[in-house]
Structure 1
Amino acid sequence: MTTPADTEPKSWPSRLRRLGGGSGIVAAALVLLCAATLFAHTGSTEETAQAHAKSTVPSYVDDIQPLLNKRCIACHGCLGSPCNLKLTSFRGLERGGFGQNPYSSHLGDYSRTGMNVVQTTAEWRKRGFYPVLARDGSESENLSRSMLFQMVEAGAKHNAPGFSRKVLMPLYAKRYDHQCPATSQALAARIEKNPAIGMPFGLPALEETELATLRAWIAGNAPGPTDAERRKADMVADPKAVRAWEDFFNADDDRSRLVSRYIFDHMFLAMIVLEESPGDYFKLVRSKSAPGDASENPPAPVEIIDTPFPYTNPYKYAGVDRFYYRLKKVTAPRIQKNHFVWELNNTDIDRLQKLFFHRAWDKKAKLDDPREAPWDLGNPFRVYHDIPVEARYRFLLENSELIVSGITYGPVCLGQTATYAVKDQFWVYFVDPKYDVSVKDPKLGLETWENFMDRSLIGNDEYESAYGAALERLQPDGYTIDAIWNGDKENPNAWLTVLRHESNVSVMKGRQGGIPRTLWLMDYSGFERIYYDTVANFEYWSGDLPKLETLIFFNYLRQEFEDNFLLLLPEAQRQKYRDDWTRGLGQVALALEPFAGEEQPTQIKTSKRDPLLSLIDDIQEHMGEKVSGPPDLLNPHKKPKVSLDAPIKSYDDWVAAASLLTQTQAYKFPRFLPSVILLRLNDPEGHARVYSLIANRVYETQDTILFQDGEELPHLYTMSIYPTLIGGFPNYFLEMTLEQSGDFLRGLRDVQSLEDWNRLRDRYGILRNSPRFWETYDWFTHWNEKHRGIYAGYLDLSYYDLFDSVY
């Protein structure tokens, strides 16, 4: 059976609010009475009864998907959700669950579970997915055999507000080993043994009206969207704007085809928003089907070719003579964790044409026939060497936040140990193309392109030696401040802030969060290497060994970019910072990793008292405020002269007082904070602002996947505060008034132990068993949508009220 397409959820209808409860029962009784009278007069009792039954079944589009969005996709929204059950669309719900735990240790590969790997439910069944819905039985049979309803009903019985949080801890401790039952009988036995597994897992149960809606829909055979609803969902605001981009990507000449391949390799994870088609979201995909007429709405159907890698040969994979790049409308809800936006308008088509085609291509280059091209190498240096290297690099630079987001977010739900190679807070800069030796001499003097993507220690050493030699040859006097790309003081992609929150990562434009301990300077070849290692070549379905290789290579590259930044400092200072940034066992790995250009001079003059701070000041001036962003009053290096004991009467007072506790190692509280706290701060007029309190942890090294077990440096931990919503995985929601915020800050200052923090958290926090939990979650969801617009998505609750390092 072919499953319907994803559908765009609509607003909740009034009938949802009428289901269940006293007045709802009366209303239902009146409807039945009227229906019975009608049957008696028409004589068509059976037909009318069937029509009535159908009309009373809740609508998937109007009732069920909005309910799943509000209460389920917070844990079942992305690749690798619990039991691999993805509830962002009817197709995902129809596909069901999968018993293999994607986060457990395993040597062999698992099946790929992306929603477009296969197109029918029957094909998913062959791959091991089992149904969580039951159909074609009586109402009671449909309910009793539905695993989805079993879980939700168990939650309704056992997860009333105030349920025990402690009972969840053993379940979370074994979550990477958890295996999901594949039958309703096995699930019933599991629930009887441990009722706490009911859904929403470890969160307050659905309200009775929500449960009644789900019950009525499942009992009524769980119908999906109608053809008319699917067609409406697939309509776009401006089909001509969509077609203009599809024409650009499908231009039929050798150079255009190569450029489109390059862009697709780097943007296949991005969410595309077209200014001319407001309200729509798209993915750039490869399709068997061609674009239709420019005025056709909805646009011609897209037959996605979902290859294992973005560079996999689509001709061979799909058995086609031609494929097409298409903009596939995304009708499923957006998940904050993996939602990063490529915002475009039609003028960007001209920009890309100028970027790639108004440069001198090698006239001797003989471009490969697209069907015979070296598709499956996973080596961008070999595959795209005919595209002018500066065009490739400038494309990466001008979209750096988006591409680095792909590197650090990834397609899966949880990062697990993959994020261990990432430090908790750092800034990223880029070598200007005019100074980049990998642009001046793309091959760096090496004989083969294979060295660039060789992930072994020897291969990395050969690359680093060649890079160091190129620096000595092409940049003999060292870098000036102009060697740092400043985006022409216009493009904020020139300065990125990257944060790690244990198992997930955030990326932002500009200078944010206060001065970090470590900084990166990325060049073109390094940018491509890290992108292909962690994104284009990443096998989420693979066993542990390939993932370990990715982790190790990331560590090499992280060290390379830290070393690049150190080349801006005086020679005598470099090793001091290098040793400070990597300590303990990491010194062993550090000794094995070459410092390319270690003896290069620098033309940048810095203060002897604090050369790093002096350099950052110079970079700030070089970038300008439009790139770096406004002064960071919440995380200043120089603290304001205010007292934490003074009353807080305004948001300005709050910012000044809170800044006394940020980016400082003077207090113990940062070592007890979870990764991400979202704070709702209310003023007396009924307005509220959102702030994110982020823990910045420090470890001796990132060169071991066990570093969290004993190599923390808690005395170096700090906190940063951001005046917006950060991250996709909040650990806590806090709420307080401006009047209360002074007591909170003083309480935070005085925290000396985990027990102290827990008492403070319990006073202002919304715990997972709180009666106000869902009300608070909804408030942050609405705030996110209102204030962050196209960049907003649903927050993930996988780590809410949990802290891995403690539990």
Structure 2
Amino acid sequence: MTLSLIRWHGVAALALLSVLAWSAALAADADDADQLTSVADPAQPERSSDAGNTPDYVDDVQPLFNSRCIACHGCLGSPCNVKLDSFRGLQRGGFGLNAYSNHIGSYPRTDMDAADSVKAWRNIGFFPIIADQGAAAENLDQSLLYLMVEAGMRHNDHGFARDALDGLRPDRFNATCAPTPAALKAELKKHPAIGMPFGLPALTEPQFTTLKDWVAAGSPGPSDAQKQAAEKIAEPAAVARWEAFFNQDNKRAQLVSRYLFEHVFLATILLEESPGDQFRLVRSKTPPGQLVSIIGTGLPYDDPYSYANVEQFWYRLEKLSAPPVQKNHFLWTLSLDQIDHLTTLFALDTGKGWGNEIDLTPGWGSDNALEVFAAIPTESRYRFMLENAEVIVGGITYGPVCNGQTATYAVKDQFWVFFLDPQFDPSVQMPMLGLDSWEPFMDRSVFGNADYLKAFAETKDKLFPEGWSLDAVWDGDGTDRNAWLTVLRHETNVSVVKGAQGGVPRSLWLISFAGFERMYYDTVAGFAYWEGDGLKLETLLFFNFLRQAFEDNFLTLLPSEDREALRHTWTQGIGRIGLAAVPFAGKDQPTQVEVSGDDPLMDLIEQLERRLGPTISGLPDPLNPQQKPKVELDASMAGFSDWEAAISTLTAVEGLSFVPHLPSVIMLRLNQGDEHRIYSLIANRAYKSQYTLVFENGESMPEKDTMSVYPTLVNGFPNLFVDLDLKDAPGFLSALSTVKTKQDWSAFKQRYGILRNSSEFWPFYDWINAWNFAQRGDLAGWLDLTYYDAPEI
């Protein structure tokens, strides 16, 4: 059976599971914890141009876009593909086909590397949203951007009717995108409430005047001097040192650079020796010392030579000047001493453990990194991934999609991630697992995955006939907090934080090197977002298989008699069909871990906590403890510690009536005089199965839902803001605990939440963004408002 046919069977299997799930459903009808004591009012002084003065793009207009527009138009897949985080994005304009909508065939790529000029974007089909060729009145009349904002000024005054949005809030990926002023005017006449900012309070008069005067003047961009200032690097020598490392003139180093690029191409890079700058690693037609000329292939392993028609390319650090958005922002932090570390890690100085010379120049176009990079010592590759696990997982959780759609349905709402120690990992010790070919490693079909799992289990039996001990779990060498990660799913987007946070989850993962690579290349490096639904379903199917394998790996640490029961607890309902499709290849293998007590899983977790230690785990977690303090919710509170003790009685507890009604992410500011703390209240929803696209119809288990609280900002997609004085906190918690119905929640939200039509909305949004950048520094990005106080929440 050919690989393509096998993959088609995989897609068919997923479709069958989805249909069965639908039928069954219808039948069933951290590091960031430190807080600022205060944050100054972040609102920029409102500037409107004097008569005859054109507002400056850099000083006046882009800051306005940052604070009011990129909340929905700052990322790949934004509504109508309008991206307002840079002048280049503004010039690109809009496009009516969104690659994330449901479609069978391929759509054009819309990432910013897909074209290098306005003319090229127009050839793809992008239409202009600004006008710059006429007199002031004509520029205003022909600017789609201005027409939309002007409509918002007329219809979205503070207190506008939220129900006016009912039926007008489109699927963000299937919105109608009027490509001409005449078409937009007709649409606005039918639906005046679609003005911008969509479903949010309008701009202030000074803000609107700034935008109007700038559009009337022809929407001028930054000057040459401003462009040069934006491109200026704080410490060019540090960049040069790194670019020299990435472009060494020997085949081993070149293969390592290719490996690193494919694993961090989506990350924002910080160089400690160039403070204030942020970069990304790109492939360029130009060498170091010249302006970067990006080779923008669709996938990181596509052939750069043929794509750009060049005989040589260079890895470059491109300085980023666009404002970061939190939803796709994750960091790879480097210092110059890491050049020596990477040189040693990959044995570039000795060549120890490397493959034959013939293996150093593999071809392009393959998503099978385990084969492509086989010449690089296996343990070196795995240790790089371990040391940068949060970065690699960041690629999976924060990109390339910004908004994960159904791909996120393959994972549970909260789970902990551990990694196999290289010395106990069959895929490190015997990389090919006894197979004759690398093909099963990235065969996404039911059959190919089963072959891989069988080979992994058989290799484990051969190498570790007595099973794994607790030493098989990587301990981060005692200090590396990448060894224990908490991953959170919030509907269609995901977050990752270091340590054991949020309370004990419903499942735990143990990831191997090969499994880590398979997951990364399935969901990130090999994910062609522009392709049709068939390939996306294939990705989702494979992600389900991978999740199941990681859960099964963890279960094999437990006694064999406890494994199946837990497996069936973690996956129920229609998911049993999925369990049958993913064989539990190691279910009968022995274990060297001894557990005691009535709860073997909790005993194992406690052993892991002791083995990895508090530096890795971050435990105890006072906001989500197992042992609850004896506190009355309505008792008065003298300080923040009283609040934390009180709310901790409601966290990581099943069966609380209010939890199923919570939105995914609430960001709460707690105030005591001039001191403020930020908390994130996260809903962890429980489902019988991840083997279905239809969670809401019969597969949900609201009685198992829990709430976790984090003492910082988590996730980039807030659903609701709450601004709470400490004196009102007892009433808030007491009222929250009594919510039982949708009507109760609606009343509670009206009382305590900052709704999207509130006069408090923009001031609070400005404040929390300023807090984010001031407190979390380079980790911070602008918050997204796509799902804020949506009618369906």
TM over 0.5: yes
> 1:656–1:364: structure 2 CA closer, same or farther, 3 Å change rule?
closer
1:307 and 2:297 are equivalent in the alignment: yes
User: Which residue pairs with 2:205 in the alignment?
Assistant: 208
Inter-partner Cα distance in structure 2 for 1:351 and 1:401: 18
1:156 and 2:153 are equivalent in the alignment: yes
- One-letter code of the match for 1:304? I
- One-letter code of the match for 1:595? F
Aligned-partner SS, 1:233: helix
Which among 228, 236, 240 is matched to residue 239 of structure 1?
Answer: 236
> 1:612–1:363: structure 2 CA closer, same or farther, 3 Å change rule?
closer
When structure 1 is superposed on structure 2, of 215-224 and 604-613 the one drifting more is: 604-613
1:109 and 2:109 are equivalent in the alignment: no
Kindly state the Cα deviation for residue 368 of structure 1 after the two structures are TM-superposed: 4.8
- One-letter code of the match for 1:104? S
User: Which residue pairs with 2:7 in the alignment?
Assistant: none
User: Which residue pairs with 1:617 in the alignment?
Assistant: 606
Inter-partner Cα distance in structure 1 for 2:474 and 2:360: 36
User: Which residue pairs with 1:64 in the alignment?
Assistant: 61
Check whether the contact 1:361–1:387 (CA below 8 A) recurs between aligned residues.
no
- One-letter code of the match for 2:569? D
User: Which residue pairs with 1:92 in the alignment?
Assistant: 89
Check whether the contact 2:355–2:376 (CA below 8 A) recurs between aligned residues.
no
> 1:157–1:364: structure 2 CA closer, same or farther, 3 Å change rule?
closer
1:663 and 2:652 are equivalent in the alignment: yes
Aligned-partner SS, 1:691: strand
Which among 457, 461, 477 is matched to residue 468 of structure 1?
Answer: 457
1:17 and 2:47 are equivalent in the alignment: yes
1:599 and 2:592 are equivalent in the alignment: no
Aligned-partner SS, 1:17: coil
Check whether the contact 1:272–1:342 (CA below 8 A) recurs between aligned residues.
yes
Kindly state the Cα deviation for residue 363 of structure 1 after the two structures are TM-superposed: 6.2
User: Which residue pairs with 1:50 in the alignment?
Assistant: none
User: Which residue pairs with 1:749 in the alignment?
Assistant: 737
Kindly state the Cα deviation for residue 761 of structure 1 after the two structures are TM-superposed: 1.5
Which among 528, 546, 555 is matched to residue 557 of structure 1?
Answer: 546
Aligned-partner SS, 2:409: helix
Check whether the contact 2:78–2:172 (CA below 8 A) recurs between aligned residues.
no
Kindly state the Cα deviation for residue 362 of structure 1 after the two structures are TM-superposed: 4.6
- One-letter code of the match for 1:157? R
Check whether the contact 1:674–1:803 (CA below 8 A) recurs between aligned residues.
no
User: Which residue pairs with 1:796 in the alignment?
Assistant: 784
User: Which residue pairs with 1:34 in the alignment?
Assistant: none
User: Which residue pairs with 1:198 in the alignment?
Assistant: 195
- One-letter code of the match for 2:283? R
- One-letter code of the match for 1:421? A
Cα shift readout 1:78-102 (whole Å, capped 9, x = no counterpart): 0011000000000000010001133
- One-letter code of the match for 2:709? I
Kindly state the Cα deviation for residue 136 of structure 1 after the two structures are TM-superposed: 1.8
Check whether the contact 1:336–1:728 (CA below 8 A) recurs between aligned residues.
yes
User: Which residue pairs with 1:320 in the alignment?
Assistant: 310
> 1:344–1:86: structure 2 CA closer, same or farther, 3 Å change rule?
same
User: Which residue pairs with 2:772 in the alignment?
Assistant: 784
Cα shift readout 1:544-581 (whole Å, capped 9, x = no counterpart): 00000000000000000000000111111000100000
Inter-partner Cα distance in structure 2 for 1:352 and 1:583: 44
Check whether the contact 1:272–1:341 (CA below 8 A) recurs between aligned residues.
yes
Which among 419, 422, 433 is matched to residue 411 of structure 2?
Answer: 422
**TM-score after normalising by structure 2:** 0.93
Inter-partner Cα distance in structure 2 for 1:308 and 1:119: 14
Kindly state the Cα deviation for residue 754 of structure 1 after the two structures are TM-superposed: 1.3
> 1:484–1:12: structure 2 CA closer, same or farther, 3 Å change rule?
closer
Q: How does 1:3-402 map to 2 (within 5 A)?
A: 17-19=47-49, 28=51, 53=52, 56-172=53-169, 174-292=171-289, 300-357=290-347, 361-362=352-353, 365-368=356-359, 370=361, 373-402=362-391
When structure 1 is superposed on structure 2, of 349-358 and 693-702 the one drifting more is: 349-358
1:688 and 2:676 are equivalent in the alignment: yes
Aligned-partner SS, 1:426: strand
- One-letter code of the match for 2:330? F
Inter-partner Cα distance in structure 1 for 2:394 and 2:411: 13
Inter-partner Cα distance in structure 2 for 1:556 and 1:570: 23
Inter-partner Cα distance in structure 2 for 1:514 and 1:746: 22
> 1:433–1:368: structure 2 CA closer, same or farther, 3 Å change rule?
closer
Kindly state the Cα deviation for residue 13 of structure 1 after the two structures are TM-superposed: 9.0
Check whether the contact 1:424–1:696 (CA below 8 A) recurs between aligned residues.
yes
1:448 and 2:437 are equivalent in the alignment: yes
- One-letter code of the match for 1:114? D
- One-letter code of the match for 1:728? G
Check whether the contact 1:284–1:327 (CA below 8 A) recurs between aligned residues.
yes
Cα shift readout 1:469-506 (whole Å, capped 9, x = no counterpart): 11111111111111100101100000000000001000
- One-letter code of the match for 2:47? R
Aligned-partner SS, 1:315: helix
Q: How does 1:615-764 map to 2 (within 5 A)?
A: 615-684=604-673, 686-764=674-752
Check whether the contact 1:100–1:179 (CA below 8 A) recurs between aligned residues.
no
Kindly state the Cα deviation for residue 291 of structure 1 after the two structures are TM-superposed: 0.5
Check whether the contact 1:313–1:376 (CA below 8 A) recurs between aligned residues.
yes
Cα shift readout 1:516-557 (whole Å, capped 9, x = no counterpart): 010000000000000000001001101100000000000000
Check whether the contact 1:101–1:179 (CA below 8 A) recurs between aligned residues.
no
Kindly state the Cα deviation for residue 413 of structure 1 after the two structures are TM-superposed: 3.2
Cα shift readout 1:432-478 (whole Å, capped 9, x = no counterpart): 00100111100000000011000011100110111111111111111
Inter-partner Cα distance in structure 2 for 1:279 and 1:535: 28
Q: How many residues were matched structurally?
A: 751
- One-letter code of the match for 1:789? G
User: Which residue pairs with 1:403 in the alignment?
Assistant: 392
When structure 1 is superposed on structure 2, of 317-326 and 160-169 the one drifting more is: 160-169
Cα shift readout 1:34-80 (whole Å, capped 9, x = no counterpart): xxxxxxxxxxxxxxxxxxx5xx1111111110000010000000001
Check whether the contact 2:136–2:217 (CA below 8 A) recurs between aligned residues.
yes
- One-letter code of the match for 1:303? S
Inter-partner Cα distance in structure 1 for 2:118 and 2:100: 24
Higher Cα radius of gyration = 1
Kindly state the Cα deviation for residue 412 of structure 1 after the two structures are TM-superposed: 2.3
**TM-score after normalising by structure 1:** 0.92
- One-letter code of the match for 2:620? P
Check whether the contact 1:360–1:388 (CA below 8 A) recurs between aligned residues.
no
Inter-partner Cα distance in structure 2 for 1:777 and 1:12: 9
Check whether the contact 1:161–1:771 (CA below 8 A) recurs between aligned residues.
yes
> 1:803–1:529: structure 2 CA closer, same or farther, 3 Å change rule?
farther
Cα shift readout 1:140-196 (whole Å, capped 9, x = no counterpart): 010011000000000000000111111212122544432201000000000000001
User: Which residue pairs with 1:571 in the alignment?
Assistant: 560
Cα shift readout 1:384-406 (whole Å, capped 9, x = no counterpart): 00000000000000000110111
Identity of counterpart residues, as a percentage? 54
Inter-partner Cα distance in structure 2 for 1:448 and 1:308: 27
> 1:644–1:145: structure 2 CA closer, same or farther, 3 Å change rule?
same
Task: Work out which structure has the larger RCO, using CA pairs closer than 8 Å and 6 or more positions apart in sequence.
Answer: 2
Check whether the contact 2:660–2:705 (CA below 8 A) recurs between aligned residues.
yes
Kindly state the Cα deviation for residue 367 of structure 1 after the two structures are TM-superposed: 3.6
Check whether the contact 1:12–1:62 (CA below 8 A) recurs between aligned residues.
no
Kindly state the Cα deviation for residue 707 of structure 1 after the two structures are TM-superposed: 2.3
Inter-partner Cα distance in structure 2 for 1:175 and 1:675: 18
- One-letter code of the match for 1:88? D
Aligned residues: CA RMSD: 1.4
Aligned-partner SS, 2:288: coil
Inter-partner Cα distance in structure 2 for 1:389 and 1:406: 21
When structure 1 is superposed on structure 2, of 422-431 and 373-382 the one drifting more is: 373-382
